[in-house]
């Protein structure tokens, strides 16, 4: 589904990603782990098409379609969803209005009919139950005055509403207490299906107890230095990143 080949990315003349290769198939969950500053969020942002990143080499395709040529909204309509590490506030725009616009843009792109207010409301109520989000939050302006946990839950609610093909979760666990973490993870798990894929970007292993990945990749200094199954995350938790970034023996590469 998602194919990243030999991806090089610069930010203001500094090389951040140095030849990333990643193959994600439908139905899979991949975790990207790594120390601070290793390039995890850069990878997430480049997939979503954020400005300010210069791709100097390589390719990123989604089901064979070149993503790098598209602007962010086109990628979103093709099925790329980024759950933000720091969701922004949009004063005066209600969550419901925002989501109705977004959903209908995506539906239009897929050749589906736009949902009218009534059907949208019905659909939204259904998804609200899945994520256990409060009605009050829905009618409030997007993320305005939300607590950290509420913002993250709102991201997962949007994920459920928009049903993308590829979900990239950027540090979704940061700032969450254990109860919120469980709720957010349940939202992601119920999203998982044979037809979509999830990339979980995280610093800590904790989240992966709840969203169990099929593969774990370790990103250090702009390169994936080790890949493995879910047990790799536990090993990292135990030994720390130094174990991989300063290997005593042979260099590990993928």
CB of 79 to other proteins, least distance (A): 10
DSSP reduced 3-state for 212:
coil
> Out of 14, 88, 113, 136, which residue is the one contacting other proteins (CB under 8 A)?
88
Going residue by residue from 113 to 152, which x/- string records binding to other proteins, judged by CB under 8 A?
----------------------------x-----------
Cα–Cα distance measured from residue 23 to residue 43, given in angstroms and rounded to the nearest whole number: 13
Number of Cβ within 10 Å of residue 101's Cβ equals: 12
> Out of 109, 140, 192, 203, which residue is the one contacting other proteins (CB under 8 A)?
109
Give ∠ CA 75-81-87 in degrees, rounded to 5: 120
> Out of 1, 40, 67, 81, which residue is the one contacting other proteins (CB under 8 A)?
81
Q: Which 198-227 residues touch other proteins, going by CB under 8 A? A: none
Q: For the chain, what percentages of helix, strand and coil (3-state, to nearest 5) are there? A: 40, 30, 35
| Site stretch for other proteins (CB under 8 A), options 43-51, 111-119, 128-136, 173-181 | 43-51
| Site stretch for other proteins (CB under 8 A), options 29-37, 82-90, 118-126, 232-240 | 82-90
Cα–Cα distance measured from residue 118 to residue 55, given in angstroms and rounded to the nearest whole number: 43
CB of 4 to other proteins, least distance (A): 18
Nearest to 92 by CA among 135, 128, 143: 143
95 binds other proteins (CB under 8 A): no
50 binds other proteins (CB under 8 A): yes
CB of 75 to other proteins, least distance (A): 8
What is the token pair recorded at 236?
A: 């990292």
77 binds other proteins (CB under 8 A): yes
Cα–Cα distance measured from residue 52 to residue 32, given in angstroms and rounded to the nearest whole number: 22
> Out of 11, 26, 93, 234, which residue is the one contacting other proteins (CB under 8 A)?
93
DSSP state of 208: G
CB of 34 to other proteins, least distance (A): 22
With CB under 8 A, what is the number of residues at the site for other proteins?
33
Cα–Cα distance measured from residue 167 to residue 109, given in angstroms and rounded to the nearest whole number: 18
Which residues does 157 contact at the CB level (< 8 Å), separation at least 6? 127, 128, 131, 133, 187
92 binds other proteins (CB under 8 A): yes
> Out of 42, 158, 185, 196, which residue is the one contacting other proteins (CB under 8 A)?
158
Residue 136 φ/ψ, nearest 5 degrees: -60, -35
Tell how far CA 112 is from the center of its chain: 25
Residues of this chain that bind other proteins (CB under 8 A): 48-52, 71-73, 75-77, 80-82, 84, 87-88, 90-93, 97-99, 101-103, 105-106, 109, 141, 158, 162
């Amino acid at each position: 589904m998602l194919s990243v080949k030999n991806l090089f990315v610069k930010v203001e003349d500094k090389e951040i990603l140095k030849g990333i290769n990643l193959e994600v198939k439908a139905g899979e969950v991949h975790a990207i782990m790594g120390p601070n500053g290793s390039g995890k969020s850069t990878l997430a942002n480049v997939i979503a098409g954020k400005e300010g990143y210069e791709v100097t080499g390589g390719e990123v395709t989604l089901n064979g379609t070149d993503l790098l040529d598209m602007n962010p909204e086109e990628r979103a309509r093709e099925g790329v969803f980024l759950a933000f590490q720091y969701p922004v506030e949009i004063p005066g725009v209600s969550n419901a209005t925002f989501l109705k616009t977004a959903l209908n843009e995506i539906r239009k792109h897929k050749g589906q009919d736009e949902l009218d207010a009534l059907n949208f409301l019905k659909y939204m109520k259904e998804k609200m139950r899945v994520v256990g989000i409060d009605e009050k939050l829905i009618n409030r302006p997007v993320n305005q005055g939300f607590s950290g946990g509420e913002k993250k839950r709102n991201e997962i609610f949007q994920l459920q509403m928009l049903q993308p093909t590829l979900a990239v979760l950027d540090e979704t666990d940061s700032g969450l207490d254990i109860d919120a973490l469980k709720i957010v993870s349940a939202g992601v798990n119920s999203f998982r299906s044979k037809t979509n894929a999830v990339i979980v970007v995280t610093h800590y292993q904790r989240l992966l107890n709840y969203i169990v990945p099929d593969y774990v990749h370790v990103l250090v200094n702009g390169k994936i230095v080790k890949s493995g199954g879910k047990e790799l995350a536990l090993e990292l938790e135990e030994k720390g990143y130094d174990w991989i970034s300063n290997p005593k023996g042979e260099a590990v590469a993928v």
